[in-house]
Amino acid sequence: METWETVKTAALLNETLIIRQLASGLTVYAVPKKRYAKRQALLCVRYGSADGSFAADGLRRDTPEGTAHFLEHKLFEEPDGGNAFSRFAALGVACNAFTTLNLTGYGFVCADGERFEESLSLLLSFTRQPYFTADNIEKERGIIEREIDLYADDPRQAVHLNLLRALYHTHPARHPIAGTADSIRAVTAELLYDCYDAFYQPANMALIVAGDTDIDRVCALAETIVAAPPAAAPPVRLYGDEPKTAAQTVIQATMGVSPPLFQLGFKETALDGGFSPAKKNAAAKVLLDSIAGDSGDFYAEMVQKGLIDDSFGANYISGPSFGVSLFGGFSVSPATVRDCLAQAIRKLRQDGIPDALFDRIKKKHMGSFIRGFNALDAIVFGQADAFAKGTDLIELWKGYHHLTKGDIMEWLCTQLNEETAMALSVID
């Protein structure tokens, strides 16, 4: 595969992002932070819980819910019965992993400069050596069942998962990331090997490092350990044909929460002509704050009426095939908040957004983005999220920096469809 390098910087941000594509197809991202003592590395795979259905070698696979997450757990297993956690611990290095809708990540933080390359070698090599057996899968089932139970007792997890179920008819975003006790019973070693072979290809992966690292050394190690694969066609992800409308408008469950916890969501419909991922990210988030941020009239009115409190907030989540704008918090009457919010959105579409409000909210997001660069973990996880979206940190910054009021009005006029693409999830 072609190799290339690009070095990106941005005015005001005063940071550098070096991007290199290696012959194997692996992309390396490095953010130099010369005065930091720690070094952090994260290896990401574009494979998450939303990739349950795919086609590889001409064959369609429909995998059980929770497969990507199960694979993440089991990749730490080693043929001698040990595991990679212990090997990192022996190096004095903390290691962790996660699975989201679109991404699996494995990473470490190294406080000892001398151990960084050893740790990086370990990270790159253990993730190239899958070892799945019926026995080690059976052993893990108990652990994952406990993890599923942990989430089952969390109203915040429940309200969010239910919202995705209400918005999406069939899209896999509506599946729990860890699966269910039933679905994980169908996970086998053969299944995990098939998914590993399909998705854990270097061209589908990124290595992200931050701190005082030597990118030439990092790339040399990656080139040695992550070999170029045989020319395999990338898997075709099958998300299904999702209608633009919400599947149901209200979904409710009881968990003994008082006042009720709610999440109101708007399903994203693809824009004709499309915003770039970076512009979309900035437009969506700045718009949400402009509508319902805690310095605005809507928020003040809702607080004054006793309908929301300081638990109320908004967020935007997205992946290659989905996007949701969310508002949520605790409320004695979530349905009333929904109706007031829908009205506020209609009014904003009609009247426009005041310049002063837009300027302030844009400044807030720019400041928050800049502050993220204080911390190595915010940098690596931020770049991982950007990789999942098909972009990078500098482009995300430019998305905010160059954002205009016209951009968010255009987003507002094509999104947040309160008539047909909105759903309310309530846990009481």
Partner 1 sequence: MGEVMAVTYRSVTIGGGIQLCHVPSDKFKTVHMALLVRRRLSKAEATQTALIPPVLARGSAAYPTLSAINARAEALYGAVLDCGIVKKGEEQIIQFYAETLSEAVANDLPVDGLALLGAVALNPVKENGGFRAATVLGAIKNQRRILAGRVNNKKTYALERLIEEQCKNEPFGVSADGYAADLAAINPVGLYAHYERVLAEAPIDLIVVGDCDTDKLARQTERLFDGRRSAAPTPVAEADGAFPSVQPDARPRVVTERQAVAQTRLCLGFRCGVRPQAAAFYALLVLNDLLGGGANNRLFAKIREQESLCYDIGSLLYRFKSILCVQAGIARKDGEKVERLVLAELDDIKNGGLSDGETDRAKNSLIKEYATLSDDPHAVMDFYFAEALLREQGGVQATIEGIRAVSKAAVQAVAAKITLDTVYILCDGKEASS
Residues that bind partner 1 (CB under 8 A): 12, 14, 35-38, 83, 85-86, 88-90, 92-95, 111-114, 139-147, 149-150, 152-156, 255-259, 261, 293-297, 299-300, 303, 306, 309-311, 330, 360-361, 363-368, 370-371, 373-376
Q: Cis ω on the peptide bond leading into residue 259 (within 30° of 0)?
A: yes
Of 140 and 392, CB closest to partner 1: 140
Of 240 and 367, CB closest to partner 1: 367
Q: Are 50 and 324 contacting, i.e. CB atoms less than 8 angstroms apart?
A: no
Helices 405-414, 334-351: axis angle to 10 degrees equals: 130
CB of 149 to partner 1, least distance (A): 4
Of 376 and 393, CB closest to partner 1: 376
What are the backbone angles phi and psi of residue 279, rounded to the nearest 5°?
-70, -40
With a CB cutoff of 8 Å and minimum separation 6, the contacts of 345 are 291, 412, 416, 418
DSSP one-letter code for 184 = G
Of 295 and 343, CB closest to partner 1: 295
CB of 411 to partner 1, least distance (A): 20
Tell me the helix, strand and coil percentages in the chain, rounded to 5: 45, 20, 35
CB of 360 to partner 1, least distance (A): 4
Tell me which long-range contacts 16-21 makes (C-beta under 8 A, separation of at least 24): 17/383, 17/392, 17/393, 17/394, 18/215, 19/392, 20/215, 20/219
- Taking alpha carbons only, the member of 250, 167, 175 closest to residue 426 is 250
DSSP one-letter code for 127 = T
CB of 317 to partner 1, least distance (A): 20
Of 47 and 108, CB closest to partner 1: 108
What are the tokens at 394?
């500098």
- CA 350 – CA 120 distance, rounded (Å): 54
CB of 293 to partner 1, least distance (A): 8
CB of 390 to partner 1, least distance (A): 26
CB of 247 to partner 1, least distance (A): 25
Of 107 and 323, CB closest to partner 1: 107
Of 139 and 346, CB closest to partner 1: 139
